[in-house]
Structure 1
Amino acid sequence: MQPNVQPGTNPVVKPNKGFQVWWQMTRPHTLTAAFVPVLLGTALSLQYGKIHIGLFLAMLIASLLIQAATNMFNEYYDFKRGLDTEHSVGIGGTIVRDGIKPKTVMQLALIFYGIALLLGVYICANSSWWLALVGLICMGVGYLYTGGPLPIAYTPFGEIFAGLFMGMMIILISFFIQTGTVDTTSILVSVPSFVLVGGILLSNNIRDLDGDKEFGRKTLAILLGKKKAIYLLASMFAFSYLWILGLIFAGVVPIWTLLVLLSTPKPYKSVRGFIQGTLPIQMAPAMKATAQTNTIFGFLLAIGIFTGHYFS
């Protein structure tokens, strides 16, 4: 039985539980999708000289803020459209469960965007003002993911947009602000991040497939069906590892990047969890394992690149 909550009105809920509620509203398991690409792009830039710590920290904080704000826009618009209920699975639904006002969620998201813009000014002043256009496009995509008349999240293209702007583009921007250029290596190394960040969204859509279908979404998982969507997710995992092996054999990245193979238990857990799970709550650990795959894979890849730089 669904609670008696009308979208766009303040729900009758339990009082909020303090800082933990606000922290969960940022959906912290997704924040690694912003942190890891910054680290990876910075690691790749070492071949061109020393790292500018100020630019690294500004890019890191701005990326985290944009990702958190995007999650809050998601929270706000899912409530407004009636997708979130008190019984929603996962850490979304803060508005309906924990007493946070919708207006407050939106205001906090806009504050995060404002701080990110200020950091962007600092980054552009110390690198290139062309990045202002790129940054604004990335922020626009973050908002339009669930905002606007046709949210990207309701289409089959969510995985592509997420992977491109929260995976590949962050790596390339992080690399550019340190080096003033984008080279072939940075593009090639960013491909697995593109794929794995897209995989995070695909795993979310697999878990929420039935509910999303009821609300008229046309996600890739819905169009493919659960079985084929799981096959796609598994192939995305396999592609990412094979891609790195190919780059090693081609001499693009150092042998140390084989460290990424230490992360293989996580994608295995993810795929197995989705195959065995039938209810959203049963598939939640599989979705978490997908996000952890991106985190650990990217972190180990960055360590491998750092190590290769200093010991090659």
Structure 2
Amino acid sequence: MPALSPSLSWRQRAALHWRMTRPGFLLITLTACLLGLATAATAGAVRPATAVLTLLLACMAHAGANVLNDFHDALNGADAANDGAMFPFSGGSRLIQQGVVSVPHTARWAAWLLLPLIPAGLLLAWHGGPGLLAVGAAGLGLAWAYSAPPLRLMSRGLGELAVAAAWALVVVGADFVQRGHFAVLPAALGAALGLLVACILLINGVPDAAADARVGKRTLAVRLGGHGAARLYGVLTLLAQGVVVTAVWTGVAPRAALAGLLALPLSLAAAALLGRHAAAPTRLKPAMALSIAAANVQGLAMAAGLGLAAALA
């Protein structure tokens, strides 16, 4: 199979490569960056040029990780075996399985997205401080270890933990670029957001569980089953909002961060739907959409609250 059909125009090629990144999921990275910029704003430190570069690089990293995940799921057979995928929420982009792109082309596109992050990250570190190198290296390491052998964290029941850590790092990194040093506030609020991002991965894994189990991909949804995943989803939801409340109560975060609690009804509704339809995953699309909405609402609400508080201070 050719990498791409030679009959495609440059616009069609660009649109296809955009689809390969699973753009619908990139919004959560934008949200995490905005939250990190908002936590930095509480200290009076926001530089527009580096903020824009941070947004761009973080979205490139997420896009590259998505493409890399499609590549490795094609190699291990998970996506091919997944005849119950619920696009666009689960089962990858499906472009390899549809014969639209080849596996080698997918690997090359992942490299094109991820490798430029190294010099660009060095440039940001030159402006923001060397500590950013540790954040960037950890983020790239998690993107690789999530789906690539030998670690393949997603297959060991550690994918949700890796995802929570990765999105917490996005918040911490976006803040660090502005401040030039680490702070507790972005770490706390980043952890809260990361837990809700982990919920997205957890619920999206339920419809994929049967196919994943057949190819030895032992995700949490495979290990716990649908009802076990529903119980864990509820725990993670309450823990995410508990982190926000605790951060405010201990004085780590200003009261404006409580705006993130606006996401709680969405998360609880998703948890209830997951518990109700755990044995019928084809009915989980509304719950998946609610999970994505909850994470974005929490992050954007906290960012808006902190930004407004900083502007009025």
Give the TM-score, by structure 2 length: 0.86
Q: Are residues 1:90 and 2:87 paired?
A: yes
Q: 2:22 aligns with which of 24, 27, 43?
A: 27
Match of 2:138 in 1: 137
Distance 1:102 1:156 in 2: 25
Distance of 2:258 and 2:64 partners within structure 1: 34
User: For residue 228 of structure 1, what is the amino acid of its counterpart?
Assistant: G
The residue number in structure 2 matching 1:263 is 263
Residue of structure 2 aligned with 1:58, choices 53, 57, 77: 53
Which residue in 2 is equivalent to 1:43?
38
5+ long unaligned stretches in structure 1: 1-8
Check if 1:72 corresponds to 2:67.
yes
Amino acid at match of 2:45: K
Moved more, 87-96 or 231-240: 87-96
Could you report, residue by residue, the CA deviation over 1:143-199 in whole angstroms, capped at 9, with x for unpaired residues? Answer: 22112234111011111111112x211111111121121122232222202211222
- The corresponding residue for 2:236 is 236
Q: Please report how far the alpha carbon of residue 61 of structure 1 lies from its aligned counterpart in structure 2 after TM superposition.
A: 0.9
Report what 1:285 is aligned to: 286
Do the aligned partners of 1:163 and 1:197 also contact (CA within 8 Å) in 2? yes
8 Å CA contact 1:203, 1:233 repeated in 2: yes
Say if 1:36 and 1:298, in contact at 8 Å, map to a contact too.
yes
Conservation of the 8 A alpha-carbon contact between 2:44 and 2:310:
no
The amino acid across from 1:292 in the alignment is A
Q: Which sections of structure 2, spanning at least 5 residues, go unmatched?
A: none
Deviation digits for residues 277-312 of structure 1 (CA, Å, limit 9, x no counterpart): 344432233223212211111000111111122234
1:129, 1:180 → 2: CA distance? Answer: 9
Q: Is the 8 A contact 1:42 1:56 kept in 2?
A: yes
| Bigger mean CA deviation after superposition, 217-226 or 53-62 | 217-226
TM superposition shift of 1:274: 1.7
| Deviations, residues 203-243 of structure 1 (Å, cap 9, x unaligned) | 22223222211221222222222212111111211222233
Q: Percent identity?
A: 21
255-264 vs 67-76, which deviates more? 255-264
Q: Which residue of 2 aligns with 1:5?
A: none
- Give the drift of 1:130: 4.2
Q: Which residue of 2 aligns with 1:191?
A: 191
CA distance in 2, matches of 1:135, 1:206: 30
Contact map agreement 1:220 1:229 (CA 8 A) in 2: yes
Mapping 1:164-179, distance limit 5 Å: 164-165=165-166, 167-179=167-179
Deviates more, 1:102-111 or 1:201-210: 201-210
> Could you give the per-residue CA deviations for residues 96-132 of structure 1, whole angstroms, max 9, x where no partner exists?
1251122221111111113322321220111223433
**Cα drift, residue 33 of structure 1:** 3.2
Post-superposition shift, 1:200?
1.9
Secondary structure at 1:235's aligned position in 2? helix
Distance 1:80 1:279, change over 3 A: farther
Counterpart CA distance in 1 for 2:173 and 2:31 is: 13
Q: Distance in 2 between matches of 1:141 and 1:247?
A: 26
Give, in whole Å, the separation in 2 of the partners of 1:10 and 1:287.
34
TM-score, structure 1 as length reference: 0.87
Q: Is the 8 A contact 1:59 1:119 kept in 2?
A: no
Give the aligned length: 301
Q: Distance in 2 between matches of 1:140 and 1:309?
A: 33
